[in-house]
Structure 1
Amino acid sequence: MPPPLKDSESMKCKVAGFLETTKPSLAKTEPPPARSTAEEAPKRKTSASRPAPTLPQALGPKFCLARKRPKQLEKETEFESLFSQTADLKFTEPREVDYLKSTLVNCRQQYLRKAPANKGPLKNAHLNILRGRRRNEGIELTRLDKRSGIVLTNYNDYVSKLETIPADRTKFSKSGNKKDRTEAVEGQLTTVLKAFHKEGLLSGKELERLRPVGTTVSRMYDLPKIHKLKLLLRPILDMRNSHYHMIAKWLVEKLRPRSLKGTFEFFETIKNMNVGGSKMLSLDVSSLFTYVPMAEIINYLREVIQDRS
């Protein structure tokens, strides 16, 4: 069995060896000619009291405060999930499985021991200011719905606008059952998945992958739309680790080959097709799912499937 990676030095050796093998294929780049003193570029005027205007734009909504110390149990679970995704792979030799396990264990240990380094443009002074804003109970710090940036808004105003969205009874209805139905929904979905497995529609591995276990209730949050008047909010339902999370990911895998990413791909698809006598419809999202009754959608899809079969 190949020896596991004990430290970062062995990884550096492997990377160095890889670079040595790829040297002949790398094009040689000549350094730029030195600028003469007569052609010296004019000095730019800078102000030490005012930061560069591109700094906030460079951060974007993906910026976050790094954890000082990651949670060990959480990382162990993530690496176990990563290893379970390799169950469909076929190894040429049994020792390769042990080598993969030892490599994942060493990577996890190195990650847990390594202190997170802040390599971004923000310094400790900036981070302390952001932490202070987050501790302020009267301020809500969130990212934008579109584009890059951070929004600071009044917490009470944010909650008030958030509560008006589920209060709309034309789109949402309040459940009369106050008991947590997480386990009940898990049981119902498991029953349906087992029935599909019995009919041969799902394999054993797919059943274990899709069966909901240890799920949580979905939560909703809103992102401000500053490109709209009155600072409207866009509701987003966080489905991670919910009852339907794995089933939704499985459906995406099945539907992706039959979906188009954008207008250009659509044109490439139909440019060699005879579309004479056909109709192309462009529907706005505000007229789709949330405004059409669920029963009507199901009945329509059933009729289409029956007509085509």
Structure 2
Amino acid sequence: MDKLAAMRVFVAIVDGGTLTEAARRLGKSLPSVVRSLARLEEALGLRLLERSTRQSYLTPEGRSYYETCCHVLSEIDTAEQDLAAQQGEPAGEVRITAPVEFGNRFVWPCLRDIRERSPGLVPHVTLTDVPLDLVEGGYDLAVRIGPQPDSEMRATVIGEMPTRHCAAPAFLERVGRPERPEDMAGMPAVCVDIAGRRTGQLWPYLDEDGKRRTFRCKAVLYVNEVRMARAACEAGVGLGFFYLYQVHDAIADGRLVSLFEDRRPPPQPVRLIRHAARERPKRVSAAIDALEGALRQALKGLGA
């Protein structure tokens, strides 16, 4: 049995929803698809799918095996694309992950440039504020804001991102404007809690001697998505602490007021992250070159 071929058939069955649809997508006969699945299940010694007359359902073992198959097949396809790309222009899929709003605001314009310069490249972008594991997720490249990642990753600093403590004008009229950064600790706050660990409650600032300090904000609302947190701050629910790009427009048009400009903490580095142990195929090098140059200019334009 050709195990890789059987894995492709299995993935096509799951993605298509039925054996008939899988056969259509693969250009195979229905009996050959049925035989391939049966042989794969027999070789594994377990049942991957529970089948009804109209639809197939993954067993728990089948779901785990499906995820493994997707990863393995993606790695094989990528390796083949890389070998082909070495003979000519950069080509193939480039898997990129970036924070949601940062991706929409800065990465998207870069993708247009990538497509114009290297039409053979196919960007596959995942926007999420949760830091993803590049190895586990099969990503080639990530945009990260914040501390240096672990040593298994190679990082290139492409700019800096300031932060802002801010509040709506109506909130400051109602509650009063804090006189010192420390005063914010006792005021209602909106906490951006991305990974569910409540690390967003610790807000940094500089003390009178210029030393970095933190305080635990008095959260009255936890939100795992920046857009809602910003909307809550604009509505006067509480203070907020954001990266500048997340509130730049709201501050510019007066929906939010930036607090303690002279006491804000140092900006956070913005990095392009990739695997340290891997050679850079042409498709990844082309994406890095395009992103690095464009993002440096965009960050300078933001004032970073």
**Bin of the TM-score, shorter chain as denominator length:** under 0.3
Which structure ranks higher in relative contact order (CA pairs < 8 Å, sequence separation ≥ 6)?
2
Length-normalised TM-score, structure 2: 0.19
Length-normalised TM-score, structure 1: 0.19
Question: Larger strand proportion, structure 1 or 2?
Answer: 2
Q: Whose Rg is larger?
A: 1
